[in-house]
Structures are given as C-alpha cells and as structure tokens.
Amino acid sequence: MSQNRILLALTDKEDIRVLTGYLSGVGFELSLTEDGAAAVERSMTEVPTIMIVDMVLPVIDGERLFKIVRHNPHTSKIPFIFISNNAVDIKGFKPGLDSFVSRPLNLEQVDGRLRQAMFQREDAHGGAKGIEGKLSHMSPPDIIQFLHMNKKEGELKLTLGSQVGHIYIKEGDIYNAVFEGVEKEKALYRLLEWNEGGFEFMPKTIDVPKKIHSGTSNLLMEGMRQIDEVKRIKERFPDQKNLLKMKVEPANLPKDLDPVIYDIVKLMKVYARVKDLVDRCPLPDYEVYWTLTEMLSRGFIEEQKASDEETRQGFLSPDQTVNIRERIINNFTGIGNYNYAKIFLLSTSSVLVDAFLDMCCTRIPGLTLTQKTFLSEASVGAQFGEVASIKLQEGMDIVIFSLPIIRNMGPVVKSFSTNLVGLILLWDDDVGADLNELVDAKKEMVALKKCPVVHIFAGEGEKVGLEISYRKMFMIKDSEPIFKLRTQEKGIVFDIFNELFGDLLKQGVA
C-alpha cells in the first residue's frame, strides 16, 4: 500500500480539476476513475490510503461502492471522503474515519478531512493486536529480546492489575518506555521486574522521539543488574516512607559533586519523602537510592521517621477515596463526563500559592505537582491552571487548579469551574492585594456550585479585630475555621484538606 495514494472516483470536471491540482500539489499520488465499478477494481488492486468519492457515480453509485469496499477485508479500513451536495445517511459510515465534504468544495475543509482520516487510519491500524500473552510465561526481557532479534516495530503494552506500562520499539530498538508518569530507562527498568500480568505487542508505526539511546542488549543487562543490586543491598538504602532533610545549606555544598546530587537537592525543595524523591527524579531508581545513601553517609542530608499520617501510601484512606469519588460523581451535575474534579485555589498572589504547594507537597503523600509547577520551582512566575493532583480510584483525579490573579479573570474562573468540587481561598495581609476580588469570586462560585470552601490566611497579623473583619468580609461562620498558614506549622495542610473533604462528604451539594 502506498503511504500517500488517494483514489478519486469523481465525475464532475470542476471537482476533478480543483482536487487533482491541490492534492498533487501537496504531494499525494493520485489515481482517478470516473465510474464506481472501476473504483471498486482499483481499490482492490492499488489499496489506496484514502478514497475520495462522489455520491453520484455511473455504474455503481458512491453508497454502493462504499459498501463493497467496506465489506472486503482487504479494503475495509480505507477511509472515505464523500463529495455530495448534502449529507446523507450511509450504513457503516464511521464518523471520525469517514466524512462528507459539501459542494462547492472548500480546499481547507478537504485538507482537514484528509488529515483527520489519515490519523484515524493510523490509529485504527495501530489498534490491531500482534502478539499477546502472560508475563508468567514470557518475561519482559524475553519479549524484548524476541522483538529485537526480529527487528519489530510497534508498542509493547504490559499490564499488571490496573497498572499499564508502554515500551515503544522501532527496528527492534527501544525508543522509549513510559510507566505512571516516568519514562526512559527509569520506566523500562521498573517494567523489566514484572513477572506476572499480561502483555500485548501491537505492530504500528512508531513516531515517538528516541529517548533511550543505549543498545537493547546493554539496556537489558544493565536493567537486570540494577534490579539485582537493589534487591541485594536494599537494607542499606533509606526507607521509602521516611522523610529526608537537608543538613547543610544547598549553597554551601561542595562544587565538584556528582551532578545527580544537585538535582536531588533541587527536588528536596519540593519533596521530602524518600518515595517521592525516587519517583520524581528522572534517573533510574537504583541510581537515586545509591545517591541518597551516599548523601546520607557524607552528612549532607538526614533521615527522619515520618509521622503516622505521613507514612500512609496516600493522603486519603481507601474508604475516604471511594466515598469522595462517589460523592463527586453522584452529586455534581454533569460530572460523569469528566475523569477529574477540580479544587480551585484562589489567591491574591502566586507567591502564596507556591508557599502553600510547598507545604502540601512535602507532606501530603499521593499529591503530585504538575511538571510545569515543578519546573517553575523558582516560584516567581504566576501559577496558572493545574498545579497539582491527587489520585482517586478508578482513574479519577482531583486537580488543584490555581488562579492567583483574580483581577478581571472572572470569565476564566467561571468557564473552567464546570467540575469544581471545592474552593481554597488564600490571602495574606499585603495591603496592595485586592481582597474584594477574592470575596466576589467566592460569592460567584458558591452561588454557582455550592461547593465547600476553606479559608487560609497566610499573613502575620494576630489581632483579634483582623479575624473578625475577615469573617465579616468573606461571610465565614463562627463554626468555620480560618486556617493560618505558617511555615513552622506544616501539619496544618492535613487539617485544611481534612476540612475540605470532610465538608464535601457532609454536604448535600447540588
């Protein structure tokens, strides 16, 4: 099959002139017929990438031609673009793959349909399963070796319960591996360990960039070595659940250390738990553990036992997770269409957002910062949009969505609040900040969504009068707390989220 051959079955001279001129100009190889019977024959001999067909054709009309081609297993995946004066119902028509273009022809529209049909076709081809089986019968290294020797191209999907990993292979070489937000060697080495679950290899064109540059044999040997090493000296590594703290100021670290150490120090500004550090660092797990052990032995960092709350795998218990998920799905109109719910973090400045996230992320297990937030760790830029997420069960996330600049951003707040389930208001005693904008946002959102709200004051003021004025301004009931965000009281973030989720579970929200 030619990659770029289009079979045209057209009778209208103007359509032929316009389309052949345009399509040949953009590099397609064209094959033209003027009746339906010839088009059927050509579709089988040439198997084009796409067919552009007039609904009205001599001998066999467009609809009949479509049925014949679609019923033939050799040609059933060819996308159709119909040219007609108006759209008609055709049995077997697949929206997304097939499409209509009405006269007079608009070349941009034709181009759009072609593009759509080509990508859909690639996806449809990619969906075909090649090999599948159980990892207990054939381990990941064996599968990879087999694909490497046969110079295969496609996607190897490994599944273990709800976990799914992907390895992209081209000409037998591994181009990339992706597993739960990590990629490259780190993901590959984690997947190599699996000895139960299933696998499928789907032959398809791989157009992902090559991110793994070592040869397959070397990768497999190194991966297996690292897995063995981790098992062998596990006791020497810091406990996954524990917290790590810098013992020396990052600026005072020697200048000629392994660059990995500086990367980990940067990460430690955001994450404290060993597991989070290992997960977030792009290097393979063994190398991160080894570096952490090295840093501990040289006295750069110290290991602290985490509190009970901090040692939990997730911030929420399994029961809470299920209940919150049910509450969100059942109580919020239209939320069923979404696989995530939002908590708005509305604040008077992006610096406050950074301070809040810093506290949350170093303490709350299971809360993940988005990559952009992490990259902007200098915390100068405005935190706008998704800044962190908490995973609930069955593919549902709760996303923390930050809008630090409220001024004149009302339509953004309103438009993106469809799946809103909670509101965090954050302000300080900066006299320049416009608290009225924050108050208005609360009024608008509560009227629109009736969602729970928590209030956090991040200023230094302790005057009684100040709290009273805030309560009046934000219309906060006496029974509702105003949390005070202090850097020395990091445990407060648990109270904040407990209050928010507690309210969510209690409230009979609309």
Other beta carbons within 10 Å of 479:
5
**Residue 416 interacting with other proteins (CB under 8 A):** yes
- Closest to 28 (Cα-Cα) out of 121, 123, 118: 118
**Residue 3 interacting with other proteins (CB under 8 A):** no
Structural element, H or E, at residue 136:
none
Q: Site for other proteins (CB under 8 A): which residue of 412, 439, 466, 492?
A: 412
**Residue 210 interacting with other proteins (CB under 8 A):** no
Site for other proteins in 115-144 (CB under 8 A): 115-116, 119-120, 123
Q: Strand 482-484's sheet: what is its strand order? A: 367-369, 385-391, 397-403, 340-347, 420-427, 453-457, 482-484
**Residue 88 interacting with other proteins (CB under 8 A):** yes
Q: Site for other proteins (CB under 8 A): which residue of 18, 296, 303, 384?
A: 384
Q: Site for other proteins (CB under 8 A): which residue of 1, 44, 59, 87?
A: 87
**Residue 314 interacting with other proteins (CB under 8 A):** no
356 CA to centre of own chain: 23
Amino acid occupying residue 493? V
Which two three-digit tokens encode residue 64? 């009949």
Least separation in angstroms between CB 359 and other proteins: 24
Burial class (CB in 10 A: 0-12, 13-18, 19+), 14: exposed
| End-to-end CA separation in angstroms for the chain | 55
Kindly tell me which of 4 and 242 has the beta carbon lying closer to other proteins.
4
**Residue 409 interacting with other proteins (CB under 8 A):** yes
Asked if residue 175 lies in contact with residue 213, where contact means CB atoms within 8 angstroms, the answer is: no
Which two three-digit tokens encode residue 252? 């005072």
**Residue 293 interacting with other proteins (CB under 8 A):** no
Least separation in angstroms between CB 486 and other proteins: 28
Which two three-digit tokens encode residue 92? 């077997």
Which two three-digit tokens encode residue 195? 């000895």
Stretch that binds other proteins, among 278-286, 297-305, 400-408, 456-464 (CB under 8 A): 400-408
Q: Site for other proteins (CB under 8 A): which residue of 205, 217, 317, 339?
A: 339
Stretch that binds other proteins, among 12-20, 164-172, 308-316, 437-445 (CB under 8 A): 437-445
Q: Which residues bind other proteins (CB under 8 A)?
A: 26, 86-89, 93, 95, 99-102, 106, 108-109, 111-113, 115-116, 119-120, 123, 334, 337-340, 382, 384-386, 399, 405, 407-418, 440-441, 444
